[in-house]
Amino acid sequence: MTMDAAAESSESRLSSSQLNKNKPFHNDESCPKEVLPVRGCGSRNTSPSGRIGSRSTSPSRQKVVKTKPRGLDEETFATFGKAVHPDVQMEDNIWAMLPEDLFNEILARVPPFMIFRLRSVCKRWNSILQDNSFLKFHSEVPSHGPCLLTFWKNSQTPQCSVFSLPLKTWYRIPFNFLPQWAFWLVGSAGGLVCFSGLDGLIFRALVCNPLTQTWRTLPSMNYNQQRQLIMVVDRTDKSFKVIATSDIYGDKSLPAEVYDSKIDKWTVHQIMPAVNLCSSKMAYCDSRLYLETLSPLGLMMYRLDSGYWEHIPAKFPRSLLDGYLVAGTQKRLFLVGRIGLYSTLQSMRIWELDHAKIMWVEISRMPPKYFRALLRLSAERFECFGQDNLICFTSWNQGKGLIYDVEKKVWSWIAGCALQSYNSQVCFYEPRFDASVR
């Protein structure tokens, strides 16, 4: 029996009303179910009536029809109460004797957002997320893949939606488990999401796991002032760090501070040399933190292992209007920005830092049709962020998202109501149950 059959047999005993009752995660009904092209949209008719009158052929000559992943959209979700294979009897007493380790190994391979819809099956499945054996299996299976996490506040109520790139589906995540103080999204790494904000008059940071609905507030910093933060995760020892540096509008005389979850405290590091920051956007690549500077021109690099700052004289491309640093895989550092002084001549380009020659090398340009659709006005603002070798562009006014795969050189649109809020904040997110906030 395959893994899919095991998951389907468990869900076949549930009605649609049972699955929808009190589920914390659900497909966003108001958003498009599929916002990217889906290959193989055909469905397979498995009912007995569907086979009447069909010509019997050998398995080797039967045409293979690609289908959507089961249980991952509204169409297949509505058929959970039906028998997918009516000629196969799923004996409850046999499946009840499934060994615990085999059960955990199967469940660890189920898409993470689908597991939450299965928690209402029984108490055993509801408590599986805290089971150490399940978390061990889950940490060893391949990642679900990248997602986009969109966070915003609606009438002071935190709202969050996640778009799964592998499944091409939006999921709404409840965020009412967080404290009621003013905070905004910092970023995500290794399944954890970091926020910062003001708890009264104190500047604080908190880290949470949206899947397990767990969170904790980090200790107060040594200097109680608003800072620019970035979070990094070390999966080998299951720890994380939060780095606080000078903000473009803040006090530049403050030293850098680093929080380490292993010792649960902030440590003070070297003060960043007097520079004129070009942007507060940062990128963490190969245990180094990079910031753009205008004076001196180039990059300011912070070595996390030694705690020292270093200037890199990498000149920016000419006529660069706005630039974003994006970290890629294998020590790759990208610069993304618009080029051109006039609206009719503007274009979006991507450069990669040549560490040996200390210069930016252009590697790609956004096609004009995508650029015009993303930014209709020359002064329109946009955001850019990345994960691995994926770069995402979002427009504040258009409610659109555009993803570029650096390796495949492919551009793909992402649409949906979760990107249409003017105050929404977006970042890449990797759903993981084994990511701990401790």
Least confident among 73-82, 93-102, 424-433: 73-82
Q: Give me the phi and psi of 360, to 5 degrees please.
A: -90, 130
Share of the chain above pLDDT 70, in %: 75
Confidence of residue 120 (pLDDT cuts 50, 70, 90): low
Higher pLDDT, 338 or 80: 338
Confidence of residue 187 (pLDDT cuts 50, 70, 90): very high
Can you tell me the mean pLDDT for 107-114? 81
User: Where along the chain do its domains lie?
Assistant: 99-139, 143-429
pTM of the model: 0.76
Can you tell me the mean pLDDT for 128-143? 79
Q: What is the pLDDT of residues 208-260, one digit of tens each?
A: 999 888 999 999 999 988 889 999 999 888 899 999 998 777 777 889 999 99
Instruction: Say what the pLDDT of residue 280 is.
Output: 72
Rounded CA separation 382/398 (Å): 10
Higher pLDDT, 292 or 155: 292
Superfamily of domain 143-429: Kelch-type beta propeller (2.120.10.80)
Mean residue pLDDT of the chain comes to: 77
Higher pLDDT, 101 or 47: 101
Rg of the chain on CA atoms, in Å: 24
- Sequence-distant (6+) residues with CB within 8 A of 131 are 104
Instruction: Say what the pLDDT of residue 362 is.
Output: 96
Rounded CA separation 197/194 (Å): 10
Higher pLDDT, 295 or 208: 208
74: enclosing H helix or E strand: helix 74-77
2: enclosing H helix or E strand: none
62: enclosing H helix or E strand: none
Tell me: pLDDT of 155 over 90: no
Instruction: Say what the pLDDT of residue 90 is.
Output: 64
Instruction: Say what the pLDDT of residue 377 is.
Output: 65
State the residue for tokens 């055909």: 42
Instruction: Say what the pLDDT of residue 38 is.
Output: 33
Q: Is 117 helix (H, G, I), strand (E, B) or coil?
A: helix
Tell me: pLDDT of 22 over 70: no
Classify residue 344 by burial, with Cβ atoms within 10 Å: 0-12, 13-18, 19+.
exposed
Instruction: Say what the pLDDT of residue 334 is.
Output: 97
